[in-house]
Amino acid sequence: MGRLVDGKWINSSVITSDESGAYDRVPRSFREIVSNNHPKYQPESGRYHLYVSYACPWAHRTLIYRKLKSLESHIGVSVVSPDMLEMGWSFDKSFEGATGDELYGLSYLQELYLKADPKVNTTVTVPVLWDKKTQTIVNNESSEIIRIFNSEFNKLTGNEEDFYPDELAAKIDELNDFIYPSINNGVYRSGFAKTQEAYEKAVIKLFSSLDHLEQILEGQKYLLGDKLTEADLRLIPTLLRFDCVYVTHFKCNLRRIKDYKNLSRYVRDMYSIDAIKETTNIDHIKRHYFYSHGDLNPCRIVALGPSEIF
């Protein structure tokens, strides 16, 4: 994957670990917001552009929100290639579904980061919310981009649907704080662990957390009852990738989502939502994980199965 150090590309492993061998995710580097009250970044139709990978669960969240919140005609999108190799995310268009860079015709996502800041120190990740007016990155943290999409463009779109309502905010935050470290990031902590101890700690925590969600979903459609919320929309990209990638590639194989009565029903219900189904690209997902992680799969063999995913 590599990273930019003082504006220079340094090729390095995607796996960053702490002293115990546990995967240690690098924080995102651009953290501005879009708001009517912001002195620089106000909501405007056609001003912002979203850079994503269909493979990336964090980017998938933003694509789901872009569609759910009627933002497709207001915020453009460019889709990188699923192959993330020595130069990082690429705009190569040879894999079906990759669009190339529709704004500047760049070859690599790192060039967009350098356009924002020629001396930047950062990992080069998706999603990226780009401002065409000021020619810079507004935000590359998915959890913040989806909050922007949830509320800040409502006057433009007329779409008032709220996935983070005030009355449920505390419960959503509690669920997010539980799901992110043990499940969203837990699959990576399992797959990218460099010691047996770190792997076992992560995978046991992952499945105890999935077991807890299985109990929560007993007798209710979504995590907080009958209301689809941000907590569901942050969880589902991980679950959609679980059986087809994480079970084998990340050794998350104590159980499959398919083996859970409530979680498997939940995934099918979520996948029936157009904004989720139409932004899920299994070919990109499988190609990226099996082909890009040379440390885990040096021969780059892409698994054929499973025959049934959802």
Which residues belong to the active site?
56, 188
In three state form, how does the secondary structure of the chain look? Answer: CCEEECCEEECCCCCCECCCCCECCCCCCCECCCCCCCCCCCCCCCCEEEEECCCCHHHHHHHHHHHHCCCCCCCEEEECCCCEECCEEECCCCCCCCCCCCCCCCCEHHHHHHHHCCCCCEECCCCEEEECCCCEEEECCHHHHHHHHHHCCHHHHCCCCCCCCHHHHHHHHHHHHHHHHHHHCHHHHHHCCCCHHHHHHHHHHHHHHHHHHHHHCCCCCECCECCCCHHHHHHHHHHHHHHHHHHHHCCCCCCCHHHCHHHHHHHHHHHCCHHHHCCCCHHHHHHHHHHHCCCCCCCCCCCCCCCCCC
Contact between 113 and 137 under an 8 Å Cβ cutoff? The reply is yes
